[in-house]
Chain A
Amino acid sequence: MKPPLFSYADPESLQETLELLAVRGDTAKVLAGGQSLMPLLNFRLARPEMIVDINRVQELHTLAFSDSAGIRVGATVRQRELERSSALCTANPLLAEALPLIGHFQIRNRGTVCGSLAHADPASELPAVALAVDAEMTVVSRGGRRIVPADDFFVSYLTTSLAADELLADVSFPPWKTQDGWAIEELARRAGDFALAGIVVRLSAERGTCAAARIVAFGLGGRPQRMTATEQAMLGSTAGEAIAEIEQAVRSEVESEGDIHASAEYRSEVAGALAGRAVTRAWERAIATGANA
């Protein structure tokens, strides 16, 4: 199939982009990497009247690493660009582990970090990572800018809190605490397929016991889900302790939808099992940093 008719704009400034969105936002779609939008256009499942291609907007192509401010990723930065940054492993090892899981390298060569966040596919890894690390989205429009925490940004299936005239200009991942443990696990029938279920874990330990935990499940419902009850139950636990209980807790806490690929019950069960693996690996890393032996 082929894309439907649309008019095309490729502005070269952010201001021009926001002008276009202010006027045509209701019936326009922003094109960055195109790895999610182009399939929809090819199948004519989306029929925007206008495509606003932001790939020529230099201001959106920033990628900055800073010890104090973390990582700031502009809207047109490719997933591969971030993946290949030499600074990434230390700046955010969770992102470093998550990025190669996204699709295939050919997809990541064009797909953007912000595009994945704005598209909000429930099976995507990046929204779950953003939620696990409390990333902040910079949302801009002709009328101004606002900072949106990840938890408020993701609403439901393919839906974020972006208004029709707004653009996700960049995402900020906070500075990583070197003593933290982390892990991401996902299950897909083939590597690169949409995950049937996935778990992201971030773990802070003090003197060998869990001081803070973040467990985010993805691929199961409309948006990444924080397992807050399980996170609470983990406080004070030690490495390897109560893994079976954590698995059970996640299995009960998570809200799953079924489809022809997998039933809801199966997904919840997988989520539990992945949580066990992810927590175990997160502990190994937390301990390996030496701060918590």
Chain B
Amino acid sequence: MRLEASRLIAAPLDEVWDSLDDPELLARCGPGCKSLERLSEDEFLADLELGVAAVKGRYRALVKLSDKRREEDRCRLHVAISGEGTSGFVNGDGEVFLERQSDGTLVSYRIEAGIGGRLAQVGQRLLSGVGKLLAGQFLAKLEAELGSRRAPSEPQATT
């Protein structure tokens, strides 16, 4: 299943890029992310409760970031996720792009995701929509977190 979308978030590129290095921040943003433990520079172990409404599956997932490229106005990285849990398995492999805009950062992702097991069997027709929903929730929370970090006395770089 392919998850592909773009979203403009109202936060500067540098902050968004740096947030990828902050497991506590990422854990707070990830929908259903109970904990995120850093194993090495680019490897994390996530305890996830993924789902919507009453339907949730608990997964332990290994998240690996790689091929990080940082330029002045654009960044990209490769993310690989592989997890297993009560309702089956979940994995993902893809790219995330960040692009500086005048009013924030355009975050685009193109991820091939695989979900297997009971959840996928029964919920197949809802998966890609829910996947996009969760990704959207993650970005919205990231935006809110980064926004609230900016101390009120600091001049806003944009808007």
Least CB distance, A115 to chain B, in whole angstroms = 13
| A259 in contact with B125 (CB, 8 Å) | yes
Whose C-beta in chain B lies nearest to the C-beta of A39?
B122
Which residues of chain A (105-158) have a CB below 8 Å from chain B?
120, 122-123, 156-158
Contact B52 A44 (CB under 8 A): no
Judge whether A45 and B55 touch: CB under 8 Å. yes
Q: Is B57 an interface residue (CB 8 A)?
A: yes
Contacts of B52 in A (CB 8 A): 156-159
Interface-forming stretch among B13-21, B74-82, B129-137? B129-137
In angstroms, Cα B57 to Cα A47, docked, is 10
Name B58's closest neighbour in chain A (CB-CB). A47
CA distance A132 to B23 in the complex (A): 45
Q: Is A33 an interface residue (CB 8 A)?
A: no
Q: From residue 207 to 229 of chain A, which have CB atoms closer than 8 A to chain B?
A: 221-222
Most chain A CB atoms below 10 A, which of B126, B128, B132? B126
Asked whether A194 is an interface residue with its Cβ less than 8 Å from the other chain, the reply is yes
CB <8 Å contact, B119 and A157? no
CB distance from B58 to the nearest CB of A (A): 9
- Encode B76-104 as 1/0 by CB contact (under 8 A) with A: 00000000001100000000000000000
Q: Are A40 and B54 in contact (CB under 8 A)?
A: yes
The dominant DSSP class at the B interface is: helix
Min C-beta distance of B20 to chain A, whole Å: 27
B133 CB to nearest chain A CB (Å): 6
A259 with B53, Cβ < 8 A, contacts A45-B123, A221-B129 known: no
Checking A39, A43, A123, A259 against B128 with a beta-carbon cut-off of 8 angstroms, the contacting residue is A259
Residue among A29, A39, A158, A258 facing the most chain B CB atoms (10 A cut-off) = A158
A45 touches B124 (CB 8 A): no
CB-CB nearest in chain A for B131: A257
Structural contact, A43 and B118, CB atoms closer than 8 A: yes
CA distance A120 to B132 in the complex (A): 18
Do the beta carbons of A46 and B56 come within 8 Å of each other?
yes
- Complex interface bits, B111-150 against A, C-beta within 8 A gives 1, otherwise 0: 0000000110011111111101100000000000000000
Interface size of A by CB at 8 A reads 26
Contact B54 A123 (CB under 8 A): no
Cβ of A158 and Cβ of B55 under 8 Å apart?
A: yes
Q: How far is A1 from B130 in the complex, measured between Cα atoms in Å?
A: 24
B54 touches A29 (CB 8 A): yes
Distance A261 CA – B125 CA, assembled complex (angstroms): 7
User: Are the C-beta atoms of B128 and A158 separated by less than 8 Å?
Assistant: no
Contact of B129 among A46, A48, A157, A194 (CB under 8 A): A157
* A250-271 interface code vs B (CB 8 A; 1 in, 0 out): 0000000111110000000000
| A37 is an interface residue with CB less than 8 A from chain B | yes
CB distance from B17 to the nearest CB of A (A): 29
Bound-state CA distance A43–B55 (Å) is 10
In the assembled complex, the Cα of A152 lies from the Cα of B57 at a distance in Å of 28
Q: A157-B52, A159-B52 are in contact. Are A258 and B128 (CB under 8 A)?
A: yes
With A156-B52, A158-B52, A159-B52: A45-B129 Cβ-Cβ less than 8 Å:
no
Known interface pairs A45-B57, A156-B52; A122-B126 also in contact (CB < 8 Å): yes
Residue interface bits A1-44, CB-to-B below 8 A is 1, else 0: 10000000000000000000000000001000000010110011
User: Knowing A44-B86, A45-B122, A257-B132 touch, does A37 contact B127 (C-beta < 8 A)?
Assistant: no
Complex contacts, A259 vs chain B, CB 8 Å: 1, 124-128
Q: Are A222 and B56 in contact (CB under 8 A)?
A: no
15 additional contacts (CB under 8 A) given A44-B86, A123-B125, A158-B53? A43-B118, A45-B51, A45-B122, A46-B56, A122-B129, A157-B52, A157-B126, A159-B52, A257-B129, A257-B132, A259-B125, A259-B126, A259-B127, A260-B124, A261-B124
Q: List 30 A-B contacts (CB under 8 A).
A: A29-B54, A39-B122, A40-B54, A43-B118, A44-B86, A44-B118, A45-B54, A45-B56, A45-B57, A45-B87, A45-B118, A45-B119, A45-B122, A45-B123, A46-B55, A46-B56, A120-B53, A157-B126, A157-B129, A157-B133, A158-B54, A159-B52, A194-B125, A222-B133, A257-B128, A257-B129, A258-B128, A259-B124, A259-B127, A260-B124
